[in-house]
Structure 1
């Protein structure tokens, strides 16, 4: 549910994951691997197997392992005593856990038996990756880097491969920068490495970027890094990291833009961390400072685009209020919406307004607002009509 909030309000939300095990038929697993030009990894396990459970809790849930496996493999779990029995028999599995690495046609390229901690599991996966050209090239550059090769072209290419496969680069970059002379960043090749691989608002690379913030493309990069760090703080529920990221917004944005961004980020972070009182404070500030001023008649005439954007923002914030804000704090947003719907025939906004009224216990006016939303959706052949009609039924039954 929180992911929906973040997408609506505009910052997005990126999960920092684990191995994604597909739940599909074996034929679909092979088809997916072939379409994505990946190998297949099969975890053959039993429910009573202790080492199998250790793989789940210690290895498959590891963030770096998950990203790496998701980049190069389509992964599948096979219970050898249930849905995976035929697969276990076909590949002669009689000890658990067994890891099977295959090509997209199901031909075995590598396997292992027993528990492997993360470093050893990665070694097994790397060995399997030699079966594909992309895997061979990636591990070639990775091995050269890990053996201490710090040639700028090699570092650039290795980190580029990691970005292509959605693997983190920031910490590796920082390890390189810490051992380099300070004047190295005067060289264009190393500047390119820093610009493309700095991911968080910390470290030598980010400090250098801040000193170059007057350059337009670098300013855009800093904005992206701040947003990326906010998302990371949400995922890790790290308030200190979040507050630190906010401190950099003022350094790269004009005051009004900085205020808007910080308020929006605060709503996102509060939703992700379930701090609904802080969320209500931020939402009210967002309403007063960023939405209401753009909804006046003068604003509508002077800047129709900004006016429509304000209505879209109001609709998003209404949904947030109806889902997460206590009913004793709904008056301001209800008054704002009431003014707008007198002028605008907007079924989505009306439907959100109905939810707010319902939450306040004003069932009669909630029914009236949702009825109008249904009529507008019907008259405009809106694809949301069926959902709007179903919502009206639930409001009438007081089952929203």
Structure 2
């Protein structure tokens, strides 16, 4: 390793703001690495952008917590890096940062020891940080063991899951792991997690394996989670083809998805059609497709149903009685799932647009009664009752 000479200037330049929570230094990454070498620590780098909502959440609500600060300040040299700044841009390619926030732990030579994507609560962040600080179980430590030939099943399970969390390449590790197991031995909760964390294509044999054994996997996890895994991969492939605007290729991909799983394939195609209509100027067609989709496929989504019904109620276009009836069904279903001032407000608005004024007043009063004084300021029902 290249020897780093730590100058007095570098020590003084890398200063930190001391407050409750993580103490982030105000210096360059090189200065942080030099400080880490001197103190025999690793560097924690928060890779953020100024427009990233989850980044702001971490900075305001998680990094500021005392328990988080105590652990990070004791074990790491902490630095924040705006990845769109002149200092940050070169690091995006070097460390393969493509999503925000990305949290990196680096040794004093700048090599990745651990990586995590996305925002989390303090408890989850501390768990990740403790793994990053563990010289035996960080991604860097596990990767060295893998490169040295470690191939036990338990090791590979752990290595694959930690690698997938940081979006590292898992191809070699998964191939080695699956070579140790018979297909029927993969039907368990841990291997399901490995499959859903690493499979990215409908052509992957493990994707086909999950499809073939859906009923057995449903017994291990929530049905919705497994369905979401299947739908997400299918949707990503369909959207990729759709962006190319090749009608023949789109039709071929749709036929392929239906052949894999008719029920899920039809749903994915319906979702894609709604997404396409969302960008269309023909708003009524979009509302009609949305209502049909929601009632058939999204009928247990309280927030979604409320939002869809509200869009139709607020539409400037002429809405048919049939579509208004569907909006009423969605609004009522949202209330059945979880009664609150907001979805009753939506129901009142939908009834009013449908011309059922008397019923709309009844629901508007209910919404107002449930709302706080602050919530009433922007409530449609308040304005409606004031005008009637």
Query: What TM-score does the superposition give when structure 1 sets the normalisation length?
Result: 0.50
Which residue of the other structure, out of 330, 337, 352, is the alignment partner of 2:346? 352
CA distance in 1, matches of 2:269, 2:294: 10
1:321 matched residue in structure 2: 312
1:155 Cα shift? 0.6
2-structure distance, mates of 1:290, 1:64:
30
Give the Cα–Cα distance (whole angstroms) in 2 for the partners of residues 232 and 326 of structure 1. Answer: 36
Aligned to 2:98: 63
Does 2:206 align with 1:205? yes
How far apart, in 2, do the equivalents of 1:332 and 1:290 lie? 19
**Which residue pairs with 1:332 in the alignment?**
322
Query: How far apart are the structure 2 equivalents of 1:26 and 1:341?
Result: 36
Structure 1's 50 and 121: CA in aligned 2 closer, same or farther, altered over 3 A?
farther
The number of residue pairs the alignment matches comes to: 301
Inter-partner Cα distance in structure 2 for 1:25 and 1:67? 17
8 Å Cα contact 1:370/1:388 also seen in 2: no
221 and 310 in structure 1: CA distance in 2 versus 1, 3 angstrom threshold: closer
1:156 is aligned to 157
Match of 1:185 in 2: 182
Match of 1:76 in 2: none
What is the Cα deviation at residue 374 of structure 1? 3.8
Post-superposition shift, 1:205?
1.8
- In structure 1, what is the Cα distance between the partners aligned to 2:149 and 2:254? 32
8 A contact 2:309–2:331 mirrored in 1: no
Q: As a proportion of its length, which structure holds more helix?
A: 1
- Contact kept in structure 2, 1:315 and 1:352, CA below 8 Å: yes
SS in 2 for 1:143: helix
**1:316 CA displacement:** 4.4
- State the Cα RMSD in Å: 5.8
Instruction: Work out whether residues 309 and 350 of structure 2, in 8 Å CA contact, stay in contact via their aligned partners in 1.
Output: yes
Unaligned runs of 5+ in 1: 1-16, 73-100, 102-109, 113-119, 292-305
Q: 1:98-177 maps to which residues of 2 (within 5 A)? A: 122=112, 133-134=133-134, 136-138=136-138, 139-162=140-163, 166-168=165-167, 172=170, 174-177=171-174
Relative to structure 1, the CA distance from residue 217 to residue 36 in structure 2 (aligned partners, 3 Å threshold; closer, same or farther) is: farther
Q: For the residues of structure 1 that align with 2:320 and 2:296, how far apart are their CA atoms?
A: 17
Corresponding residue SS for 2:150:
coil
Give CA deviations for 1:58-96 in whole Å, capped at 9, x if unaligned.
468823795453xx6xxxxxxxxxxxxxxxxxxxxxxxx
What is the match of residue 89 of structure 1?
none
**Which residues in structure 2 correspond to 1:64-83 (within 5 Å)?**
66-69=101-104
CA contact (8 A) 2:47 2:83 kept: no
Shift of 1:197: 0.9
Q: Which has the higher contact order (CA 8 A, sep 6+)?
A: 1
CA shift digits 1:118-170 (9 cap, x unpaired): xx5626989xx89964364123223222445333221112224456xx4448x
Distance across 1 between alignment mates of 2:99 and 2:184? 31
Could you tell me which of 53, 64, 89 is aligned with 1:28?
64
Aligned partner (choices 292, 298, 315) of residue 285 of structure 1: 292
C-alpha distance in 2 between matches for 1:196 and 1:33: 31
Q: Is the 8 A contact 2:294 2:305 kept in 1?
A: yes
1:218-261 deviation line (CA, Å, top 9, x unaligned):
785886354136457878993449986996588668x5x986x5
